Amino acid sequence: MNLNLANKVAIVTGASRGIGRSIAEVLSQEGMRLVLAARSGDLLEEAAKCCNAEAIIFAADLRDEDAPQKLVALAMEKFGRIDLLVNNVGATQRGDFLQLTEEDWRDGFALKFYCAVRCSRAAWPHLVNTQGSIVNIVGVGGRTGSAEFAIGGAVNAALLNLTKVLADRGIKDGVRVNAINPGAIATNRLETRINKLATEGGMTVEAASSQLAGHLGVRRFGEPAEIAAVVAFLASNQAAYCQGAILDVDGGQTKTL
């Protein structure tokens, strides 16, 4: 399927590894020119080299209040347009609610939620000009609460609501805003979680992986490319009537409506 994304421009945050890097690679295969953002310049350089289309990097801590505006300014300086913003950056601290600190909470919202707010606000006028789109990479924890995922669940729920807010504004301005809720995706973060489970339970990594999949109620873990394919679809005219959509790409983990 030709998604007609060639020569359009996308900003992808959290692009140095995992889901973000896969998104960059898939969008580049569709011919999109890219601005890749994350903290690690070295990892971003590696990601850019794996892209099939032109890709430049922006190495910065996107928790800094001025960084999103500088990111958008770089995209405009280099390419003169922005057609897609993928808000993907951000990880949150797991743990017992009573043990999580004020700093843990501040950091969780600072990177994932406020970065998305600031990037969206900075990019919005340019997306209006191109009738472009935003795709927020959120997470199933925003729909289903979990005792060990208090910060992540709260941040994700806020980002899902922001998706609806921006989509409502986008009806008037011609900007489509949608979200993807990944489930358990085979990234370094999931590998770390499985290894911790194996160590704590005195079992093999394979047994821990199987146990976690069973606990989550899925047959297998997802692949980053499966999330990236949905991003490409939502960015294309094939999804022209998707506005404020929240897509659970989680192997059936989410059981609620």
Q: Give me the CATH number covering residue 239.
A: 3.40.50.720
201 and 177 housed in the same domain: no
With respect to residue 2, please indicate whether it lies within any of the assigned structural domains: no
Say how many residues make up the chain: 257
Is pLDDT of 2 > 90?
no
45 and 90 housed in the same domain: yes
207 and 238 housed in the same domain: no
With respect to residue 229, please indicate whether it lies within any of the assigned structural domains: yes
The pLDDT of residue 29 is 97
The pLDDT of residue 49 is 97
With respect to residue 3, please indicate whether it lies within any of the assigned structural domains: no
DSSP β-bridge partners for residue 135: 86, 178
With respect to residue 193, please indicate whether it lies within any of the assigned structural domains: yes
Higher local confidence (pLDDT), 257 or 155:
155
Is pLDDT of 1 > 70?
no
Tell me how far apart the alpha carbons of residues 167 and 174 are, in angstroms, rounded to a whole number: 9
Which percentage of the chain shows pLDDT scores above 90?
A: 91
Confidence of residue 257 (pLDDT cuts 50, 70, 90): confident
Query: Quick one: average pLDDT of 52-65?
Result: 97
Tell me how far apart the alpha carbons of residues 188 and 242 are, in angstroms, rounded to a whole number: 31
Compute the mean pLDDT over every residue in the chain, rounded to the nearest whole number.
96
190 and 180 housed in the same domain: no
174 and 216 housed in the same domain: no
80 and 112 housed in the same domain: yes
Is pLDDT of 5 > 90?
yes
With respect to residue 255, please indicate whether it lies within any of the assigned structural domains: no
232 Cα distance to chain centroid: 13
The pLDDT of residue 181 is 98
Tell me how far apart the alpha carbons of residues 226 and 40 are, in angstroms, rounded to a whole number: 24
107 and 210 housed in the same domain: no
101 and 121 housed in the same domain: yes
Per-residue model confidence as pLDDT tens digits over 82-93: 999 999 998 899
108 and 215 housed in the same domain: no
Query: Quick one: average pLDDT of 34-50?
Result: 97
Distance set, CA 145 to CA 61, 117, 141, 157, 192 (Å): 28, 23, 6, 10, 21
With respect to residue 177, please indicate whether it lies within any of the assigned structural domains: yes
DSSP state string for 12-71: EESTTSHHHHHHHHHHHHTT-EEEEEES-HHHHHHHHHT-SS-EEEEES-TTSTTHHHHH
Cα separation of the two ends of the chain = 30
Range of the domain at 85: 9-185+223-249
Domain count, the chain: 2
41 and 163 housed in the same domain: yes
Instruction: Please state the pTM of the whole predicted model.
Output: 0.95
User: Which phi and psi (to 5°) does residue 202 adopt?
Assistant: 60, 45
Tell me how far apart the alpha carbons of residues 242 and 178 are, in angstroms, rounded to a whole number: 7
Q: Which alpha helices (H) appear in the chain, and where do they start and end?
A: 18-29, 41-49, 67-79, 102-108, 114-130, 150-173, 188-201, 205-216, 224-235
Q: Provide the pairing of β-strand 133-137 with 55-59.
A: unpaired
